[in-house]
Copies of this chain bind each other. A is one copy, B any other.
């Protein structure tokens, strides 16, 4: 941690960004994985701010797709998809607080080929779906199993290798009274599928209920902008995060910080609404914390804002809007 010592997490966190006690959530410790983000389940772990947690995550199919001859629509059992580790209770967290989660490392695990991507019916960015409900015939189903190592990345075929650029596809806190499918991204995080939520970044999440109830899972070995066919390079991992708690800095949507930029994350349909959410939050953040007049912020973002498309396939689309820290002077 270098720039991180100057991060918002370090400056505002209860633990001042200092690494605390280490914990694990192995498959055995997790037991039953969860398919919703909600307050109705027993916590799997209780931590203090500063805690470091190494979680054994499953892939989005909980390992059920093992071979390229598998037929996803016959194997997958909706809504039991996208299994999540957690919930993790963070001591002291209360509604209105903010959770800071520094992503320390993501390491692939499990037997090869560890990676899975599929084309399946009624899901994806370039096909009719349950939401964009059409009469066209579906595409044929297809499964691709892929070898992944942290050193060599993902071997796509004999000619193409994708670098290992892992990130957490799904991470968030519990809503206060709702329990939402882990396929959905929203104001509390969830299935954002945004590649910026990667190793070295800090994500900030609103706390909606006592203990925050952090969930995470669904790590991707690589992903393009938009997660076009709906399924990135899904793989099981050991994902290690450091958790801190921020009092007195309430946020309405997830935020993210790296060495170089700050980002706000919006999830909605249609896609322009996700962009509006992200950019409005960024305007307001620049106004609240960096001395900008709100309209000045609006005008500067017009010239210098950056947008990252997370997903264009999930029940809500996710976009991150960012600005370089060098402009926040």
Contact = CB atoms under 8 A, between A and B. Distances in A.
The 8 closest A-B pairs by CB, nearest first: A270-B270, A136-B136, A224-B305, A271-B271, A225-B307, A179-B179, A133-B280, A228-B302
B134 A127 contact: yes
B226 A135 contact: no
A298 B144 CA distance: 12
A138 interface: yes
Contacts of A277: 130-131, 133
Contacts of A137: 136-137
A298 B229 contact: yes
Given A132-B273, A136-B137, A303-B222, A79 B177 contact: yes
A74 interface: no
A319 B316 CA distance: 18
Work out how many copies of this chain go into the complex.
4
Contact of A276 (B132, B232, B275, B304): B132
B133 A136 contact: no
Contacts of A119: 295, 298-299
A133 B142 contact: no
Contacts of A159: 329
A10 interface: no
A298 B179 contact: no
Contacts of A181: 177-178
Contact of A134 (B117, B136, B178): B136
A225 to B, nearest CB: 4
Contacts of A222: 303-304
A233 B117 contact: no
B224 A135 contact: no
13 contacts: A117-B299, A119-B295, A119-B299, A125-B276, A126-B133, A126-B280, A126-B298, A133-B279, A226-B302, A232-B302, A232-B303, A269-B269, A269-B270
